[in-house]
Amino acid sequence: MLGGRSEKLIVVLSGGYTNDPRIPADSLLGEDTLARVVKGVQLYRAMPGSKVILSGGELNGTVPAPTDYLARRNLNLSADDVYPTAEGIRIAEGAVYECLGLVWAKLRGKIQFPEAP
């Protein structure tokens, strides 16, 4: 409820930005933030009458929408795919960061993992 009436809200949480007046405005958003804003615009277009809120805080509710997927199906694996690359290390770092974030949120009681069938 917002202002006493039901609203369709899309909340886009920041994933980082640079606050430097020397950098052009179109380069201030971090990669994660940019991906989230694009997803927010897609949801806005799909939900007539909705409103978009850009935030960097915490929100309890039902607005999460997966975005910026790093895991993609690749059926054409080759021997070159098993050698480490800088990009692969960056993706692995992000995966570890996300897993640690989930564990930390679970320990703080902010999220619940689904029960195994």
Domain residue ranges in the chain: 9-107
Region 92-115 average pLDDT: 84
pLDDT of 29 reads 79
In our burial notation (b when 16+ CB lie closer than 10 A, e otherwise), range 19-57 reads eeeeeeeeeebeebbbebbebbeebbeeeeeeeeeeeee
pTM higher than the cut 0.85: no
Residues 3-56: tens digit of each pLDDT: 566 778 898 887 777 777 888 877 877 788 888 889 999 999 999 999 998 876
Report DSSP letters for 65-90, one per residue: ---S----------GGGGS--HHHHH
